[in-house]
Amino acid sequence: MATEKIIMAGFGGQGIMSMGQLLTYAGMIEDKQVSWSPSYGPEMRGGTANCSVIVSDSLIGSPIINNDATASVVMNLPSLLKFEKQVIKGGNLVVNSSLIEKKAERKDLNVYYVAANEIATEIGNNKVANMVILGAYIELTKIVSQESIVEAMKKVFGPSKQHLVELNKEALKCGAKEV
């Protein structure tokens, strides 16, 4: 792996930002160079949300992803429409098929459909759909290990939320099986 540039996108409340932060944190745990940049502003108030994560073996110059994403992880339809086109040729597109019926248009990408919400509901909580799709993405690229994500959760989740680590770990595993 040289440099992975990932756009994660969905609507507010899907845990897009925290999914990106956990990936970034996991990269840091593995001593990689990392950066996380959010979209911010009025669109954060319940509208679409996206963040850019860079995980690299070498120093990160620009933290901005500009039509050179190695992957897009999209959790709703507006995100697919917006970010499918920002992935480089041969890059990965991970689509939440629970909420997006439309198929990807580009033929030069590796596209994966993951029914993140159904799987999350099956294992007990619709809210961990973000971890299902993150599990799928890291399985594809191996940019960080599942263990590092779990370790990141332990650090990022406050003391009152440690009991949620197991469920989130399970979600990562289920997601990994989908690709």
Number of residues in contact with other proteins under rule CB under 8 A: 17
110-114 and 48-56 strand pairing: unpaired
CB of 40 to other proteins, least distance (A): 5
CB of 10 to other proteins, least distance (A): 18
CB of 177 to other proteins, least distance (A): 28
Contact between 71 and 87 (Cβ < 8 Å): yes
Contact between 84 and 105 (Cβ < 8 Å): yes
Q: Is 28 in the site for other proteins (CB under 8 A)?
A: yes
Q: Is 161 in the site for other proteins (CB under 8 A)?
A: no
Contact between 109 and 92 (Cβ < 8 Å): yes
Q: Is 137 in the site for other proteins (CB under 8 A)?
A: no
Residue 129 CB-density burial (10 A; 0-12 exposed, 13-18 middle, 19+ buried): buried
CB of 174 to other proteins, least distance (A): 26
H helix runs in 30-179, sequence order: 77-83, 116-122, 129-141, 146-156, 165-176
Question: Judged by CB under 8 A, which of 6, 8, 16, 36 binds other proteins?
Answer: 36
Question: Which residues sit at the interface with other proteins, rule CB under 8 A?
Answer: 21, 24-25, 28, 34-38, 40-41, 60-64, 66
